[in-house]
């Protein structure tokens, strides 16, 4: 402390030099630390970060295949894919989501339902910067509105996607079904790789049954992306295999005719090409617009459809199980003939009722005063119930069951109609299992006229009619006509689906019974006293048919509905089965008109219109061809 006021330059220099050397060493050490850090990151951990960098850079994007198109038999498009612009939001780029949504709602007609679903999707797992769908089907004008306001809407993008479209809307809804967004249950079932780029899946009908073929195989592309998810270039591409195009037997013109003929009545029409088994029409009225389901239906619209008393979502043609009524009589009669209970000459005297025992319950004929003296042919033509009460009385129900089974009743027999119901073909075993009670003869009597326990779907009735028309030869009903496997290869149904063994053809002991039964059915339409003689006027071809009337029992009566409606809904269902031309059948048809009253007045005219629409142009063309051939032959002979 002696030299406290005197500076010592030498000492200062020494201290400085010492410290400078110290700091220099420290700096070298620190730079070595940095170098060590770089060594750790760049050499030791290189693999890890190289992978991370590659994962950052390269994105494997699935490319969804274009869904196969569906055509009708004449090549009309029933289902196609349309480009649709949809409004998406990239959440990472949105500053204030609530405000953006409010603004969007002001600009576009965004429904509460869409917001609801957006909220749901928003919370699902997704890649960063993946757009979340808010609103589909933007119009040009809406896109313009968005473009103008884009500066106020960061993160809002318009993207194009292919959306399933059903040009016939309501018309073929029950045949085609529809596609919809994949739900969680389906997510577990589907192949996650093949569906990685797909948003929709077939939910019902053809769309569901042929999902595998229609969907195709997913493609992939490796793309280089920026941090914001923008694709810079495609590094590698593996093209998707588009779904196969499908052609159905369905004839959309015929479908229209049937729908128009039904009008606004509830009912179903199923027509089958007897020569191929192809389903030509499959109408269930009322129907719905399948386009509603494609991008997701809002709960209000869905609720309205679901709760409608008319059950538009219910596929009557496939799942509607009705008492077949008198339409079953030709088959019961054939069973009677086969088992020897009756023959064509067997005649009864019908007083208008039948009794199992004297003084017992009256089983009434539809004609109060009876048909008088009736043989089998007349019993068919006039639909005499008493005749069939007696027949059913003498026949074992299990014999009847086994015989009718051969016509496809009580079973699901179509090739590619997934949703079809089984109906009920009762037997003693069935009743025992179902109710625990033995079979009573009275049950047989009801079954004999197609009532009681017996239930059949319109598709089953049409199928049985087709078998009858073909004189016992089986052709399973099918929707698919052909499928385009690839560019120049079209396959038939049999070659793509493992076709279930066709049921055995129905063989009768006396082959002649077919023709006689068909004659009897022709007289239903063309006979003077036939129940459907009204539609038999001015027909250029021969129709074999059978009317039926099914009593509506057990329909739920809800107090809320007005009396008029309930009354209307308690009316009988009208049924009609037919095929034509009787000698060389081409088409078999089953029609049911719910609560339409008697089959002869409600259902038969519908069938006639469909038959006319199908047959007349064909017959006319053939006649013309024949005429020309004849002319040619004459010209040739004239030379």
Partner 1 sequence: MSSDFLRQLPRAAHAFQSKQHILNRLHIDAWLLLLLLMLCGVGLMVLYSASDQSMATVQRQATRFGVALVVMFVFAQISPHHYRRWSPWLYAVGVLMLLAVLVMGVGAKGAQRWLAIPGLPRFQPSEIMKVAVPMALAAYFADRYLPPRMKHVGLGLLFVMIPTLMIAKQPDLGTSLLICASGIFVLLFAGIQWRWVFGFGSIVSAFLPLFWMFLMKDYQKQRVLTFLNPESDLHGSGWNIIQSKIAIGSGGLNGKGWLQGTQSHLDFLPESHTDFIIAVFAEEFGFIGVLGLLFLYLLIVTRCFLIAARADDTYGRLLAGSLTLTFFFYFFVNIGMVTGLLPVVGLPLPLISYGGTSIVTLFVGFGILMSIQTHKKVLPR
Q: 45 vs 570, which CB is nearer to partner 1?
A: 45
Q: How far is the CB of 66 from partner 1 (least distance, A)?
A: 30
Stretch that binds partner 1, among 46-54, 103-111, 135-143, 486-494 (CB under 8 A): 46-54
DSSP line for 81-139? EEEEEEEEE-GGG-S-HHHHHHHHHHHS---HHHHHHHHHHHHS---TT--EEEE----
Token readout for 322 is 């009705």
Q: 33 vs 495, which CB is nearer to partner 1?
A: 33
Q: How far is the CB of 3 from partner 1 (least distance, A)?
A: 8
Among 5, 95, 140, 639, binds partner 1 (CB under 8 A): 5
Residue 468, CA distances (Å) to 227, 404, 407, 507 in order: 69, 11, 8, 11
x/- map, 117-146, partner 1, by CB under 8 A? -----------x------------------
Among 56, 308, 437, 494, binds partner 1 (CB under 8 A): 56
Q: How far is the CB of 13 from partner 1 (least distance, A)?
A: 7
Token readout for 422 is 């089984």
Q: Which residues contact 205 (CB under 8 A, 6 or more apart)?
A: 173, 174, 175, 176, 177, 178, 418, 419
Q: Which of 326, 383, 427, 602 is catalytic?
A: 326
Q: Is 252 a catalytic residue?
A: no
DSSP line for 304-321? HHHH-TT-TTS-HHHH--
3-class SS string, 364-393:
ECCCCCCCEEEEHHHHHHCCCHHHHHHHHH
Report the 10 Å Cβ neighbour count for 554: 6
Q: Is 60 in the site for partner 1 (CB under 8 A)?
A: no
Q: Is 19 in the site for partner 1 (CB under 8 A)?
A: yes
Report the 10 Å Cβ neighbour count for 577: 35
Q: How far is the CB of 30 from partner 1 (least distance, A)?
A: 6
Q: How far is the CB of 157 from partner 1 (least distance, A)?
A: 18
Q: 1 vs 636, which CB is nearer to partner 1?
A: 1
Q: β-strands 70-71, 245-248: how paired?
A: parallel
Binding to partner 1 (CB under 8 A) within 87-116 occurs at: 92
Q: Is 486 in the site for partner 1 (CB under 8 A)?
A: no
Q: 2 vs 489, which CB is nearer to partner 1?
A: 2
- Euclidean distance between CA atoms 79 and 73, whole angstroms: 13
Q: Is 9 in the site for partner 1 (CB under 8 A)?
A: yes
Q: Is 63 in the site for partner 1 (CB under 8 A)?
A: no
- Euclidean distance between CA atoms 437 and 261, whole angstroms: 43
Binding to partner 1 (CB under 8 A) within 209-228 occurs at: 224-228
Nearest to 134 by CA among 107, 149, 154, 156: 156
Percent composition of the chain: helix, strand, coil (DSSP 3-state, to 5): 40, 20, 35
Stretch that binds partner 1, among 16-24, 202-210, 509-517, 574-582 (CB under 8 A): 16-24
Classify 619 as helix, strand or coil: helix
Q: 122 vs 431, which CB is nearer to partner 1?
A: 122
Q: 6 vs 369, which CB is nearer to partner 1?
A: 6
Containing 548, the helix (H) or strand (E) segment is strand 544-550
Among 148, 193, 232, 502, binds partner 1 (CB under 8 A): 232
Q: 52 vs 500, which CB is nearer to partner 1?
A: 52
395-411 burial, b at 16+ Cβ within 10 Å, e below that, comes to bbbeebbebbebbbbbe
Q: 224 vs 256, which CB is nearer to partner 1?
A: 224
- Euclidean distance between CA atoms 471 and 511, whole angstroms: 9
Residue 534, Cα to own-chain centre: how many angstroms? 35
Stretch that binds partner 1, among 21-29, 362-370, 380-388, 477-485 (CB under 8 A): 21-29
Among 2, 43, 488, 636, binds partner 1 (CB under 8 A): 43
Residue with tokens 């119930």: 385
Q: Which residues are catalytic?
A: 326
Residues forming contacts to partner 1 in the complex (CB under 8 A) are: 3-9, 11-13, 15-17, 19-20, 23-24, 27-28, 30-31, 33-35, 37-39, 41-43, 45-46, 48-50, 52-54, 56-57, 92, 128, 224-228, 232
């Amino acid at each position: 402390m002696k030299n406290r006021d005197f500076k010592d330059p030498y000492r200062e220099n020494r201290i400085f030099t010492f410290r400078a050397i110290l700091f220099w060493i420290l700096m070298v050490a620190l730079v070595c630390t940095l170098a060590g850090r770089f060594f750790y990151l760049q050499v030791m951990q290189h693999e890890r970060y190289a992978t991370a960098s590659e994962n950052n850079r390269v994105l494997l994007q699935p490319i969804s295949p274009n869904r196969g198109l569906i055509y009708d038999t004449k090549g009309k498009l029933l289902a196609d894919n349309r480009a649709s612009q949809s409004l998406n939001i990239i959440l990472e780029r949105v500053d204030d989501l609530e405000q953006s949504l409010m603004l969007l709602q002001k600009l576009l007609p965004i429904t509460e339902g869409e917001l609801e679903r957006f909220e749901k999707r928003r919370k699902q797992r997704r890649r960063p910067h993946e757009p979340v769908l808010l609103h589909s089907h933007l119009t040009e004008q809406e896109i313009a509105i968005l473009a103008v306001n884009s500066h106020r809407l960061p993160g809002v993008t318009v993207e194009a996607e292919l959306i399933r479209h059903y040009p016939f809307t309501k018309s073929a809804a029950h045949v085609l079904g529809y596609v919809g967004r994949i739900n969680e249950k389906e997510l577990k079932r589907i192949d996650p790789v093949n569906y990685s780029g797909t948003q929709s899946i077939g939910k019902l009908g053809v769309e569901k049954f042929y999902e595998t073929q229609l969907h195709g195989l997913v493609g992939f592309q490796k793309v280089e992306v920026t941090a914001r998810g923008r694709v810079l270039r495609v590094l590698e591409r593996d093209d998707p295999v588009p779904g196969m195009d499908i052609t159905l037997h369905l004839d959309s013109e015929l479908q229209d005719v049937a729908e128009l003929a039904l009008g606004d009545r509830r009912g179903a029409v199923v027509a089958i090409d007897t020569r191929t088994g192809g389903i030509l029409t499959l109408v269930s009225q009322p129907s719905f617009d399948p386009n509603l389901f494609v991008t997701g239906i809002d709960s209000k619209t869905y609720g309205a459809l679901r709760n409608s008393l008319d059950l538009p979502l219910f596929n009557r043609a496939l799942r509607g199980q009705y008492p077949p009524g008198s339409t079953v009589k030709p088959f019961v009669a054939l069973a009677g003939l086969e088992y020897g209970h009756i023959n064509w000459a067997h005649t009864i005297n019908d007083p208008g009722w039948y009794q199992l025992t004297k003084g017992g319950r009256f089983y009434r004929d539809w004609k109060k005063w009876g048909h008088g003296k009736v043989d089998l042919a007349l019993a068919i033509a006039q639909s005499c119930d008493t005749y069939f009460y007696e027949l059913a009385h003498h026949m074992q129900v299990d014999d009847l069951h086994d015989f009718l089974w051969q016509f496809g009743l009580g079973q699901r027999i179509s090739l590619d109609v997934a949703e079809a119901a089984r109906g009920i073909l009762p037997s003693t075993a069935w009743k025992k299992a179902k109710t625990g009670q033995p079979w009573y003869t009275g049950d047989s009597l009801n079954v004999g006229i197609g009532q009681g326990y017996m239930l059949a779907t319109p598709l089953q009735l049409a199928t049985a009619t087709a078998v009858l028309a073909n004189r016992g030869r089986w052709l399973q009903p099918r929707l698919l006509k052909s499928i385009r496997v690839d560019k120049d290869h079209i396959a038939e149904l049999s070659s793509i689906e493992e076709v279930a063994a066709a049921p055995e053809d129905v063989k009768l002991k006396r082959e002649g019974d077919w023709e006689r039964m068909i004659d009897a059915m022709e007289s239903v339409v063309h006979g003077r006293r036939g129940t459907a003689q009204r539609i038999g006027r001015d027909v250029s071809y021969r129709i074999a048919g059978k009317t039926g009337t099914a009593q509506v029992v057990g329909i739920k009566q809800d107090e809320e509905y007005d009396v008029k409606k309930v009354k209307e809904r308690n009316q009988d269902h009208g049924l009609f089965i037919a095929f034509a031309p009787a000698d060389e059948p081409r088409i078999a048809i089953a029609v049911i008109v719910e609560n339409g009253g008697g089959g002869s007045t409600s259902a038969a005219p519908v069938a006639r219109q469909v038959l006319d629409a199908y047959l007349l142009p064909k017959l006319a063309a053939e006649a013309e061809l024949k005429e020309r051939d004849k002319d040619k032959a004459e010209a040739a002979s004239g030379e």
